[in-house]
Amino acid sequence: DAGITQSPRHKVTETGTPVTLRCHQTENHRYMYWYRQDPGHGLRLIHYSYGVKDTDKGEVSDGYSVSRSKTEDFLLTLESATSSQTSVYFCAISETRQGGRGYRDTQYFGPGTRLTVL
Amino acid sequence: QKEVEQNSGPLSVPEGAIASLNCTYSDRGSQSFFWYRQYSGKSPELIMSIYSNGDKEDGRFTAQLNKASQYVSLLIRDSQPSDSATYLCAGRSSASKIIFGSGTRLSIRP
């Protein structure tokens, strides 16, 4: 499972409330990502991080903010949840390595969080 | 235009045949490409990644990359019913973000 956990795994909330999703890794990987997955859209990148306090926007960042104060934790916040943010949210970690066995690039996903905004 | 494009399918292949999945990308600075398998209600699982032009084989799976044509493909030999899933293609852009296509649904018919 590549040492990635997400919390909570399920959440139901009401429109206008703030929501924070947590992603935790034990692998000490540099890159962390938040995606949302909706029918017909595949996985869409919300925000990503390339180090502590280093984050950048993805494809669908409006309405979301992130923070990474420690290597192991990447938080996704919906400041004021809307029904259009009802989705399954996946966190992923990634690492690139150049070593004796050549270049290697991997990405692994957490179990996902199902968020429903009523 | 999405940075990574896939035919959404569904693609139906008889058991034992070769399934061919295709993907194109627009960012010429992309360095790495990934193929994932995702079963309904589950997380995507990494099948393989490819970085250099040519073929890369891992068991029944072969990934092919053609950077000049900006094209990535995945071949699945001896397709099994358990291969029925959604297959996701992704590319790591020059800015290090990893962008996905919308996925191709593959169905292996007995």
| SS3 state of residue A85 | helix
Residue with tokens 């896939």: B6
Residues on B contacting A at a C-beta cutoff of 8 Å: 6, 31-32, 34, 43-46, 49, 51, 88, 90, 92, 95-103
Q: Which residues, 6 or more positions from A23, have their beta carbon under 8 angstroms from its beta carbon? A: A4, A5, A6, A32, A34, A73, A74, A75, A76, A91, A110
Q: By percentage, how much of chain A surpasses pLDDT 90? A: 82
The string of pLDDT tens digits covering residues B50-72 is 998 999 999 999 999 999 999 99
Q: Flag whether pLDDT at B38 surpasses 70.
A: yes
Q: What number is the average pLDDT over the span B18-22?
A: 96
CB contact under 8 A, A105 and B44: no
Burial class of residue A14, CB neighbours in 10 A (0-12, 13-18, 19+): exposed
CB contact under 8 A, A48 and B96: yes
The string of pLDDT tens digits covering residues A25-66 is 998 899 999 999 998 788 999 999 999 999 999 999 999 999
pLDDT level of residue A98 (50, 70, 90 thresholds): confident
**Shortest CA gap B76–chain A (Å):** 20
The string of pLDDT tens digits covering residues B76-104 is 999 999 999 999 999 998 768 999 999 99
pLDDT level of residue B1 (50, 70, 90 thresholds): low
> For residue A51, which residues of chain B lie inside 8 Å, CB to CB?
none
Q: Mutation test of the interface with chain B: which of A93, A97, A109, choosing the one with the most B Cβ atoms within 10 A?
A: A109
